[in-house]
Structure 1
Amino acid sequence: MAQSSWREYRPGQRFPGVIGRTAEESTPAWPQPVRAVPGAPNVLFIVFDDVGFGQFGCYGSPIETPHLDALAAGGLLYRNMHTTALCSPSRSCIITGRNHHANGMAAITELATGYPGYDGQIPFENGFLSEMLLQHGYNTYMVGKWHLMPSEQESAAGPYDRWPLGRGFERFYGFLGGDTSQWYPELVYDNHQVEPPASPEEGYHLTEDLVDRAVSFIADAKQVAPDKPFFMNLCPGAAHAPHHVPKEWADRYRGRFDDGWEAYRERTFARQKQLGVVPADAQLSPHDPDVPPWESLTADARRVAARMMEVYAGFLSHTDHHLGRLMDFLKETGEFDNTLIMVVSDNGASAEGGATGTTNELQFFNNAPETLEESLARIDEIGGPTTFNHYPWGWTSAGNTPFRRWKRETYRGGVSDPFLVHWPSGIKARGEVRGQFAHIIDMVPTVLDVLGIEAPATIRGVTQSPLHGVSFAHTFDDDGAASRHLTQYYEMFGHRAIDHDGWRAVCPWPGPSFTEAGRPFGTPITMADLDDLDAHHWELYRIDEDVAETRNLAQENRAKLIEMISLWYMEAGKYNVMPIDGSAFERMMQERPQITRTRTSYTLRPHTQVVPAAVAPRVLNRPHSVTADVEIPPAGAEGVLLSQGTNAGGWSFYIKDGHLHYAHNYVQRTLHHVASGESVPAGRHTLRFEFEPTGAPDIAHGKGAPGRAQLYIDGRLVGHTEMPVTTPIAFNPGGMACGANPGSAVTPDYRAPFRFTGTLHSVTVDLSGDLIVDAESEIRMYMARQ
């Protein structure tokens, strides 16, 4: 390399050049650009979603994941990696190296509460790896799922300082919330919303799109600065619900799961022993009391459940295939060998499909599960654009083989996850299994260790907190190296555990299973409950001898149990774990501070970004009105005035065939519809929809408030209907759009996005309860119902 003809100096140092009266008698020098150490490796995190310990092929699963298996064969497979049991908390640990409560991430951001460990706002003193590596000459890319900031901050109003570009990522392409449709995703590019580049009919799928974007981000920079390393946090939606995949991928597994979840567990466990993923003398955890025996299901129930698992398996294999395209690109460009790749899941397999599974997860969230007959009628649609599907929790238990329980709980099924490391230029070992204890807070310290970088004292002027994790880089080429991470606490919705030097104590809440507890997930914890739990319900395991928590030693080793409970409380005090909160629904419904004052009137305008559900007007179970100020040209107009939700559930206020319409899609089960009895005339008009509840909601049984739906043109009643039930809790996805219905259509009455073709000045949503009173029209309406 030719010697530079100029001098450089570090910013902040004394200028080393010469400054004379003219340039002729002066000598220039330049501030030194930030450059990485020559030969520094790229860093690639691949974070799967809701993938259990027994669901990658290299972990004994019958699901085919050849590209992940190749990473394991060319690198290291860890059998003792741990997470927090939930997505946002785990992702905060992965990217900061700090514990989840210290990150304010006790749960998902949608369930934030007003305590330091629970508020959903990762402190700026807990810097992200992206922010750290920027200081050392790295390009930084975030692709896929974010879910690391309060939901109230996801709108175009910001603030943007907790968006990916505010936390050290130079580029972002993905989705901000916890899940999204793989066919119709809610996409953000850098700091603004975008529409998917194609439709499902044109072959679009989010996973392929994300990998395409990952490749382009890397290629964009490498063609200009080929020696500049990158850090990429690649977080596909797989395999979180909805389990969406092209049908041909699901069909590859046709008939492969017909023998049920017990058979899956037995086969996977045997294969895990052969692979060394579990010790040869390990015992498989017993059948879960909440999971019905496969043979107890009817033939139709088995058929539906098997198809749901075929779709899940196809989804995972499809994701592996596209990750293989990224690996091929890295090989083609000569970057593969010097890329430190870490692959992990954020928690164990998910039980959010319930005991029977669902073709529409929104039904689960709204306490309105579908019947078997409804599922069976849609069996050929499962995984396609018309569904928002999730498998039954029998497959969840199987996916976490050999461990017990699942996501949201701190038994090992919730917190022990697959973890692969691949770096040919930096690791000599190939295809070996590592058994040292580790936790995802150790990933950042390990990366800094191998790069020879100290954790920064400040980031953007903010003094940094110490990292909580420790490096496991010493295990890369030493199978016998001792674990350096000796103590790790867990807490999730009141479910608690602690690992310490080969011992494990667990205090399940509401109990070891819902069946045994007689209480559901999300039950609040009282002080009396906590006293009883600490006195009688902690369990103790010698985990280095009993990996699947099958032999409870609490009674025979009370002294060790008391020591472990005390240690849990010590760790809880360090990391903002208190107060212990077992609730879920109460947290979700809790009002949180907004960036604007509370109001009852919201004005939306066309050609603006979709308003996220967290900051959209909450119209469910209350009187409300939607008023559109429109101009209709002489030739007429049609399209959506205001919509919220998707084909999985939502509502739409629109004009079609000259008439005013309102449709409410109740969790894809019932479509309530009303149309005006007369056409909307040309000219400027006020078009209005009103909802007036006529009864109380029955939220526990999945029924929102019944009510009277009325349509008005310039204050005249032109249509009405009675809606016997509405959506009780939420729409997911639940964004509100003015002038269009992006994504999938709320109602089959039109094809999305069905943009309004007239002039739409504004739409106002009013929650004050002030409804139009038109006595004459109401008398006609009541008489018509007699």
Structure 2
Amino acid sequence: MPVGIAVREAWVEDGQMSPKEFKEYRPGTAFPGVIGRTAEESSPGWPQPMRAMPGAPNVLFIVLDDTGYGQFGCYGSPMATPNMDALAADGLLYNNMHTTALCSPSRSCIITGRNHHANGMAAITELSTGYPGYNGQIPFENGFLSEMLLQHGYNTYMVGKWHLVPSEQESAAGPYDRWPLGRGFERFYGFLGGDTSQWYPDLVYDNHQIEPPASPKEGYHLTTDLVDKAISFIADAKQVAPDKPFFLDFCTGATHAPHHVPKEWADAYEGQFDDGWDAYRESTLDRQKQLGVAPPDARLSRHDPDVPEWDSLPPDARRLAARMMEVYAGFLSHTDHHIGRLLDFLRETGEFDNTLIMVVSDNGASAEGGPTGTTNELQFFNNAPEPLEESVRSIDELGGPTTFNHYPWGWTWAGNTPFRRWKRETYRGGVSDPFLVHWPKGFKARGEVRTQFAHIIDMVPTVLDVLGIEPPATVKGVSQSPLHGVSFAHTFDNPTAQTLHHSQYYEMLGHRAIDHDGWRAICPWPGPSFTEGGKPFGTPITAQDLTELDAHHWELYHIDEDFAETSDLATENRDKLIEMIALWYVEAGKYGVLPIDSSGVQRMMIERPQITAARTSYTFRPGTETLPAAVAPRVINRPFSITADVEIPSGGAEGVLLCQGANVGGWTLYVKDSKLHYAHNYVRRALHQVSSTETVPEGRCELRFEFEPTGEPDIAHGKGTPGRARLYIDRRPVGEADIPVTTPVAFNPGGMTCGANPGSAVTPAYQSPFRFTGTLHTVTVDLSGELITDVQTEIRMHMARQ
């Protein structure tokens, strides 16, 4: 039989036709049938459907967010993660897996098998710059695992956090080629950005926005919703094609901030963290040694200089910090519980034993809560931390819909026990993460620890290895680059097998490191800690800085003998250190790491290519999708106006004309009680507003708001420009107020919506979505500075969403 032809017998009922061979052929090969003058004289053949190899396993990636090495129960944590623990007990736990230290870069590695700079993902997409390693656009020659498995008969699903598309491409205008459905996933349900509210998420279904199917009062939570959707995707296909395998990339919003969870889950941990972060680290390391996830001679890394001693905190600060950790612990346990529902579904359907499951976090625990923690992460990004007394007043709201909370640095440091530092930095606390593998039909080992060095770029090569699939030469006609990772499948049943991954570089926001055959060299920036470096996170590196760093500030650790980087050997092993530094530069050249850029806020504000020419006037209509912050008109720190063309029916109307943000920060222009109102919610700390002195008339009219700056912003201290707010009805002034401070950098969530306030309400004056009940023809935002009132010099500034 010719290659590429499958032959089956076609049984024909009632003798209407004589039996013929049922022939299939691979598309692109010769037609195997016979074509005569009539069907009677001919023999058919069919293009062969794409089918996976019989018995091919399902593949399930479970990617958590900001979950540290010491936070799963099976990694020594006191927090309950019974489903993760069960996977470890019936599978393999790796104690030497590494990530990039930040989410978008790590996710790009997980899904492509290539290093993050080679993916254009030097940092999160919101910090992209105009260099190949930094532009936030994963090249199409770096194919995704979804694209590879689609060619081998798999269903492919993406559920949860994406964060792999440039922010300016997240809108309904596209382009869509870097959205999940453009990169080999057949179905998608989740969110495109870096984080979202667990109570009021920014949801996308396939290629369009949707609103959550329920409210928090009705029991809605994003994690529950994501698991429900993952189960339904699998069930939809399995009822038709039960033998067709799937690849599911399941990426929770948890445990990234906001730490949102039903109160009873947090209350279950009441009092369990009152001893503080130092005690947590000590007890966790003891358990890690007992479990074998840390060597018997492992020592805790030093007390971090940026973290206060627990006993030095005043009572209110300890009470607040303990509650923030209770909320986080409840959030993690709640996430584990719902992942357990997904695993239970696989058991019920008989798919569990033949599903290759890999569980990983994208980086170490996060320090974005600042030194004291916060009730609103937006304050961190706007340099506007709230005083302790304000945070304490909100202690009972933590985890609920009115907060966007994150714990303090001390718990970040503890969450990465026994390692140093955290997310965004390349000490082991930032890049060494929990990693579990479970596949009962694939290997015999149960409940064992694997110590071989590995990196998340190895996940794709390992999957292809066990499936017997060669990396494709092309994807959608695009020639493919080589994979950078190597398979670790040989370690599944061989605990003493040598790693095949010998060298791995790291660079994240100027913080550098390299692993090579059990040695580790690190060059921290701005220093081993903020206290010692004397500079804040995001300080740009100059050429002079880099020369000084390379000459005097690299550290050297023998990780094979010093698990937690406790003994710097740079002085006594100078030759080894020089060898490691040179190797870092070789790898940097190979993978597009240069130029080194450690800047933070500066990168958030730079100009990026847009799909349309720059303009100063934007027109919106109700019923359209929410604009992501990256493509919405930038109204921060500048004069602007909003003009609504409305028609008010007899008896009046009410509702939102235009708004941006949410209850943790934003602004809204709306009609209520027959008056026109504007409110600016300053990072949840203050609400500044103005209302019209006249009623809004019936009939067609023009409603207008203007903002005129009256001073300069003080971004370093969390203050946007002050200004004068004015309201107009049919171009007559009807209200005026001074706003002493505005949001300086960004809103998060920062979407702009016309005709409604989806999600949580920007102001407590109304309940969302508060859709406008009159006729709203258009709303125009003008950034030209052409106000009805006098205009001061326009301040131009750019914001981005973290």
The TM tier, using the shorter chain, reads over 0.9
Question: What is the aligned partner in structure 2 of residue 699 from structure 1?
Answer: 715
Map 1:1-80 → 2, pairs under 5 A = 3-4=9-10, 5-80=21-96
Residue of 187, 192, 195 corresponding to 2:211: 195
Q: Give the letter aligned to residue 334 of structure 2.
A: H
Which deviations, in whole Å up to 9, do the C-alpha atoms of 1:437-489 show, x marking residues without a partner? 00000000000000000000000000000000000000000000000000000
CA distance, structure 2, for counterparts of residue 52 and residue 544 of structure 1:
21
Does residue 1:116 correspond to 2:102, yes or no? no
Query: In the TM superposition, what is the alpha-carbon distance from 1:773 to its structure 2 partner?
Result: 3.5
CA distance, structure 2, for counterparts of residue 529 and residue 165 of structure 1:
43
Residue of 587, 600, 611 corresponding to 1:584: 600
Map 1:443-454 → 2, pairs under 5 A = 443-454=459-470
Question: What is the aligned partner in structure 1 of residue 342 from structure 2?
Answer: 326
Q: SS of the counterpart of 2:352?
A: coil
Which deviations, in whole Å up to 9, do the C-alpha atoms of 1:126-150 show, x marking residues without a partner? 0000000000000000000000010
Q: SS of the counterpart of 1:677?
A: coil
CA distance, structure 2, for counterparts of residue 220 and residue 687 of structure 1:
49
8 A contact 1:104–1:117 mirrored in 2: yes
CA distance, structure 1, for counterparts of residue 789 and residue 150 of structure 2:
61
CA distance, structure 1, for counterparts of residue 276 and residue 702 of structure 2:
58
Q: SS of the counterpart of 2:174?
A: coil
Question: What is the aligned partner in structure 2 of residue 557 from structure 1?
Answer: 573
Does residue 1:242 correspond to 2:242, yes or no? no
Query: In the TM superposition, what is the alpha-carbon distance from 1:774 to its structure 2 partner?
Result: 8.7
Q: Give the letter aligned to residue 688 of structure 2.
A: H
Does residue 1:634 correspond to 2:650, yes or no? yes
Question: What is the aligned partner in structure 2 of residue 162 from structure 1?
Answer: 178
Question: What is the aligned partner in structure 1 of residue 268 from structure 2?
Answer: 252
Query: In the TM superposition, what is the alpha-carbon distance from 1:622 to its structure 2 partner?
Result: 0.2
Change (3 A) 1:249 1:2: farther
Question: What is the aligned partner in structure 2 of residue 643 from structure 1?
Answer: 659
CA distance, structure 1, for counterparts of residue 133 and residue 407 of structure 2:
32
Map 1:676-715 → 2, pairs under 5 A = 676-715=692-731
Residue of 384, 406, 409 corresponding to 1:368: 384
Question: What is the aligned partner in structure 2 of residue 784 from structure 1?
Answer: none
CA distance, structure 2, for counterparts of residue 696 and residue 3 of structure 1:
81
Query: In the TM superposition, what is the alpha-carbon distance from 1:283 to its structure 2 partner?
Result: 1.2
CA distance, structure 1, for counterparts of residue 340 and residue 211 of structure 2:
26
Question: What is the aligned partner in structure 2 of residue 97 from structure 1?
Answer: 113
Q: Give the letter aligned to residue 160 of structure 2.
A: G
Does residue 1:408 correspond to 2:424, yes or no? yes
8 A contact 1:16–1:29 mirrored in 2: yes
Q: SS of the counterpart of 1:6?
A: strand
Q: SS of the counterpart of 2:63?
A: strand
Map 1:273-284 → 2, pairs under 5 A = 273-284=289-300
Residue of 647, 664, 669 corresponding to 1:653: 669
8 A contact 2:159–2:251 mirrored in 1: yes
Q: Give the letter aligned to residue 235 of structure 1.
A: C
CA distance, structure 2, for counterparts of residue 195 and residue 665 of structure 1:
23
8 A contact 2:710–2:723 mirrored in 1: yes
CA distance, structure 1, for counterparts of residue 426 and residue 781 of structure 2:
42
What TM-score results when the alignment is normalised by the length of structure 1?
Answer: 0.98
Query: In the TM superposition, what is the alpha-carbon distance from 1:321 to its structure 2 partner?
Result: 0.3
Q: SS of the counterpart of 1:337?
A: helix
Question: What is the aligned partner in structure 1 of residue 490 from structure 2?
Answer: 474
CA distance, structure 2, for counterparts of residue 552 and residue 365 of structure 1:
33
Which deviations, in whole Å up to 9, do the C-alpha atoms of 1:524-567 show, x marking residues without a partner? 00000000000000000101100100000000010000000000
Residue of 307, 322, 325 corresponding to 1:291: 307
CA distance, structure 1, for counterparts of residue 446 and residue 588 of structure 2:
38
CA distance, structure 2, for counterparts of residue 590 and residue 410 of structure 1:
25
Query: In the TM superposition, what is the alpha-carbon distance from 1:3 to its structure 2 partner?
Result: 4.7
Does residue 1:490 correspond to 2:506, yes or no? yes
Change (3 A) 1:746 1:454: same
Question: What is the aligned partner in structure 1 of residue 414 from structure 2?
Answer: 398
| Structure 1 stretches lacking a partner, 5+ long | 776-786
Change (3 A) 1:774 1:88: closer
Question: What is the aligned partner in structure 2 of residue 348 from structure 1?
Answer: 364
Q: Give the letter aligned to residue 259 of structure 2.
A: H
CA distance, structure 2, for counterparts of residue 389 and residue 774 of structure 1:
40
CA distance, structure 1, for counterparts of residue 789 and residue 692 of structure 2:
18
8 A contact 2:8–2:23 mirrored in 1: no
Q: Give the letter aligned to residue 530 of structure 2.
A: F
The aligned length equals: 775
Residue of 711, 718, 724 corresponding to 2:734: 718
8 A contact 2:8–2:22 mirrored in 1: no
Residue of 732, 746, 752 corresponding to 2:768: 752
Query: In the TM superposition, what is the alpha-carbon distance from 1:724 to its structure 2 partner?
Result: 0.5
Does residue 1:269 correspond to 2:285, yes or no? yes
CA distance, structure 1, for counterparts of residue 441 and residue 218 of structure 2:
40
CA distance, structure 2, for counterparts of residue 753 and residue 61 of structure 1:
40
8 A contact 1:717–1:774 mirrored in 2: no
Question: What is the aligned partner in structure 1 of residue 523 from structure 2?
Answer: 507
Q: Give the letter aligned to residue 380 of structure 1.
A: D
Query: In the TM superposition, what is the alpha-carbon distance from 1:2 to its structure 2 partner?
Result: 8.1
Structure 1 stretches of 4+ moved >3 Å: 1-5
Does residue 1:427 correspond to 2:443, yes or no? yes
| Structure 2 stretches lacking a partner, 5+ long | 1-6, 11-20, 792-802
Residue of 141, 149, 153 corresponding to 1:137: 153
Which deviations, in whole Å up to 9, do the C-alpha atoms of 1:713-741 show, x marking residues without a partner? 01000001000000000000000000000
Q: SS of the counterpart of 2:572?
A: coil
Q: Give the letter aligned to residue 686 of structure 2.
A: T
8 A contact 1:362–1:667 mirrored in 2: yes
Q: Give the letter aligned to residue 322 of structure 2.
A: A
Change (3 A) 1:453 1:624: same
Does residue 1:380 correspond to 2:396, yes or no? yes
Which deviations, in whole Å up to 9, do the C-alpha atoms of 1:33-89 show, x marking residues without a partner? 000000000000000000000000000000000000000000000000000000000
CA distance, structure 2, for counterparts of residue 480 and residue 427 of structure 1:
15
Q: Give the letter aligned to residue 51 of structure 1.
A: T
8 A contact 2:656–2:670 mirrored in 1: yes
Q: Give the letter aligned to residue 221 of structure 1.
A: A
Q: Give the letter aligned to residue 12 of structure 1.
A: G
Residue of 76, 82, 85 corresponding to 2:98: 82
Question: What is the aligned partner in structure 2 of residue 732 from structure 1?
Answer: 748
Change (3 A) 1:3 1:281: farther
Query: In the TM superposition, what is the alpha-carbon distance from 1:635 to its structure 2 partner?
Result: 1.4
Residue of 606, 609, 614 corresponding to 1:593: 609
Alpha-carbon RMSD across the aligned residues, in angstroms, is 0.9
CA distance, structure 2, for counterparts of residue 766 and residue 774 of structure 1:
15
Q: SS of the counterpart of 1:710?
A: strand
Q: SS of the counterpart of 2:433?
A: strand
Question: What is the aligned partner in structure 1 of residue 563 from structure 2?
Answer: 547
Does residue 1:573 correspond to 2:594, yes or no? no
CA distance, structure 2, for counterparts of residue 615 and residue 633 of structure 1:
33
Does residue 1:532 correspond to 2:548, yes or no? yes
CA distance, structure 2, for counterparts of residue 636 and residue 661 of structure 1:
15
